[in-house]
Amino acid sequence: MAAATGDPGLSKLQFAPFSSALDVGFWHELTQRKLNEYRLDEAPKDIKGYYYNGDSAGLPARLTLEFSAFDMSAPTPAHCCPAIGTLFNTNTLEAFKAADKKLLLEQAADEIWEAVKSGAALENPVLLNKFLLLTFADLKKYHFYYWFCFPALCLPESLPLIQGPVGLDQRFSPKQITIGVYDPCNLAQHPGWPLRNLLVLAAHRWSSSFQSVEVLCFRDRTMQGVRDIAHSIVFEVKLPEMAFSPDCPKAVGWEKNQKGGMGPRMVNLSECMDPKRLAESSVDLNLKLMCWRLVPTLDLDKVVSVKCLLLGAGTLGCNVARTLMGWGVRHITFVDNANISYSNPVRQPLYEFEDCLAGGKPKALAAAERLQKIFPGVNARGFNMSIPMPGHPVNFSSVTLEQARKDVEHLEQLIESHDVVFLLMDTRESRWLPAVIAASKRKLVINAALGFDTFVVMRHGLKKPKQQGAGDLCPGHLVAPADLLGSSLFANIPGYKLGCYFCNDVVAPGDSTRDRTLDQQCTVSRPGLAMIAGALAVELMVSVLQHPDGGYAIASSSDDRMNEPPTSLGLVPHQIRGFLSRFDNVLPVSLAFDKCTACSSKVLDQYEREGFNFLAKVFNSSHSFLEDLTGLTLLHQETQAAEIWDMSDDETV
């Protein structure tokens, strides 16, 4: 290029190469496509760039790729010229490095050559301006490695300049013209890259008829707002003899890197991207990775979009929330009425020492705050409120009664506005009210409870949808499957026949905290237990959500472990009972109990008919109220009668 002079007889035509110009939007869009569409697919992709012929002096001839590069039907910006390219995005840095650059260039050159030979390029000169883009996107670090190629077929010999380049004004009257190119270059003595393959086309086509060709490099530059043809250049070159030659000529075109050497470039976008947006896409990354290779049928949306209500923000609540965050769940609401105490932070992984000072922050609020600190994209809320309980009277005064009414209403609203209700409290009786409301509202309930080194994690049975009014349609996600033919009592139990936490009990819940010693109040457990149970509670929810029947899915049992699993993630048990001393889990299945103090129709009917009035009776009464209602009292009497009868029977024998 340095040797170029105005001497028409001696100098050789030299070309200004393209410089790649990749917008941040391009990398954003590549990230999205990689995550959502390409995944592990390394096949070449069509992309589209453009260049402009009106840049100011001093700017390189740039081929620009924006976020729109992946949309082949996207319009090219005004006054710009499109360039069609091929993206080779590799999965690893090693594949990027190992890519056969020579071969890729040869293949592209062949295509151009075919377009030259066939005449397609005459019809559509865009075919001459192909480009290649080899990339590796390190989406963990937001480092993007790339190497551009603008394949240019080489003429058999360099082109002697017969005349020019001179400004267009010195050569043409406004009416005169020969062969033109839209030229992105703004050097006075040199044309840009697009001319190269055009000249090959010209030589191939016309070198038998013409010895030389006059070239007009059209540049649309304005100077102080005025278009001036003086910016465009014109020259005449001697065409080499290659008329209709069949073999593809040698080609060049890989771009130099920032240091001027032959090599790829790298752009590190991790600092200039919006951190919160970065966090969001990073969090999604791990999840989407699961789909790429391991569980292609995983329906992530079902998980990410689920709204979870966590009743209890203690050891279990914190661990459940952490696991939900890991699954990308964005809507998490806590309910708790305790403050954070000094013993909590080492076992409740959303709290720190500072949270314990001055009496301790309310757990529900602190937990929600912490989730925001972990991941600003989460929608977390906390409510510092009590859940009224059977056997804990609320009728001391009109004030306490009104407070209980408000608490019930608030809890009903919360359960209504969430999809899954987690019962993570530390007493049995505090689980009763939400179990009743959730059963009535047909919400999926996941229940977790700890012993010292044992735990139970279970989904409550999900009742069949209520009778619909004439005009109502049953919402899709609540359709219960038809009863299964031949289902025995202990296998193939569909979700709507499964029991709840209270179904196995023959005593109604009451005040269990009175008169408990310290070790009982603290629900002392091995420290690892809550992490395991909390994690399993969420994994159970996710597996159930993946099942096409959701909460109505037939319960898997331990015996199903050797069978084909019902979901892409595996089994959907009713209960997981864990024994840490044996490092063992079993998967029992149990039926709903028609005298259950929480989910039997007797209780649900009363609740739906009488609302708070019924609930208040339960709160204010001893065990016997619920036991009378459900028929447990009668059952007790019958059992006793049976025992008496058995004894007398023995005596008569």
Which amino acids are annotated catalytic? 522
Rounded Cα–Cα distance for residues 268 and 24 (Å): 10
Instruction: Pick the piece of the chain touching its own copies (CB under 8 A) from 63-71, 125-133, 224-232, 564-572.
Output: 564-572
Containing H/E element for 416? helix 398-416
**Total residues contacting its own copies (rule CB under 8 A)?**
89
Per CB under 8 A, 279 contacts its own copies: yes
CA distance 456 to 536: 10
Spatial distance between the Cα atoms of 360 and 345, rounded to a whole number of angstroms: 11
Q: Which stretch binds its own copies (CB under 8 A): 293-301, 384-392, 394-402, 486-494?
A: 293-301
Is 191 a binder of its own copies (CB under 8 A)? Answer: no
260, amino acid identity: G
Of 82, 125, 160, 345, which lies in the binding site for its own copies, with binding defined by CB under 8 A? 345
> Per-residue x/- mask for its own copies, residues 29 to 48, rule CB under 8 A?
-----------x--------
> Contact between 278 and its own copies (CB under 8 A)?
yes
Please identify which residue in 130, 322, 459, 574 interacts with its own copies, judged by CB under 8 A.
Answer: 322
Number of Cβ within a 10 Å radius of residue 370: 20
CB of 148 to its own copies, least distance (A): 23
Q: Taking CB under 8 A as the rule, does residue 509 contact its own copies?
A: no
HEC readout, 9-41: CCCECCCECCEEEECHHHHHHHHHHHHHHHCCC
In 99-250, DSSP assigns E strands to 131-138, 143-153, 161-167, 179-182, 212-218, 222-223, 226-227, 233-238
Among residues 101, 75, 60, which one has the least CA distance to residue 193? 60
Query: Is the CB of 216 or the CB of 365 nearer to its own copies?
Result: 365
What single letter denotes the amino acid at residue 527? P
> Which tokens is 185 given?
């270059």
**Which one, 9 or 359, has the nearer CB to its own copies?**
359
Residues 10 and 26: their CA atoms lie apart, in Å, by: 43
Name the segment binding its own copies (CB under 8 A); options: 52-60, 74-82, 147-155, 272-280: 272-280
For 392, the token pair is 């804990």
Nearest residue (CB) to its own copies, 292 versus 612: 292
Query: CB–CB of 452/525 below 8 Å?
Result: yes
User: Which residues, 522 to 541, sit near its own copies by CB under 8 A?
Assistant: 522, 524, 526-529, 531-532, 534-536, 538-540
Pick between residue 153 and residue 589 the one whose CB is nearest to its own copies. 589
3 state DSSP class of 269: coil
Beta carbon of residue 431, minimum distance to its own copies (angstroms, whole number):
21
570 binds its own copies per the rule CB under 8 A: yes
Query: For residue 192, what are the β-bridge partners?
Result: 16
CB of 330 to its own copies, least distance (A): 11
Q: Which span (63-71, 107-115, 180-188, 351-359) binds its own copies, by CB under 8 A?
A: 351-359
Q: What are phi and psi of 411, to 5 degrees?
A: -65, -40
x/- map, 213-252, its own copies, by CB under 8 A: ----------------------------------------
Q: Residue 164 CB, nearest distance to its own copies (Å)?
A: 52
Backbone angles phi, psi at 412, to 5 degrees: -60, -45
* Straight-line distance from the first to the last Cα atom of the chain, in angstroms, rounded to the nearest whole number: 120
Q: Which is nearer to its own copies, 204 or 331 (CB)?
A: 331
Query: By CB under 8 A, is residue 337 in contact with its own copies?
Result: no
Q: Based on the shown chain and the rule CB under 8 A, indicate whether residue 553 belongs to the binding site for its own copies.
A: no
Q: 603: closest CA among 393, 411, 437? A: 437
Q: Which is nearer to its own copies, 122 or 524 (CB)?
A: 524
Residues 73, 82: Cα–Cα separation, whole Å? 11
Q: Is 605 in the site for its own copies (CB under 8 A)?
A: no
Instruction: Please classify residue 650 by burial: count the beta carbons closer than 10 Å to its beta carbon, then call 0-12 exposed, 13-18 middle and 19+ buried.
Output: exposed
Q: Which one among 59, 223, 243, 346 touches its own copies, defined by CB under 8 A? A: 346
Query: CB under 8 A: which stretch of 133-141, 243-251, 605-613, 619-627 binds its own copies?
Result: 133-141
Does 25 engage in binding with its own copies (CB under 8 A)?
no
User: Are 210 and 179 within 8 A, CB to CB?
Assistant: no
Among 153, 420, 573, 607, binds its own copies (CB under 8 A): 573
Site for its own copies, residues 365 to 394, rule: CB under 8 A? 373-376
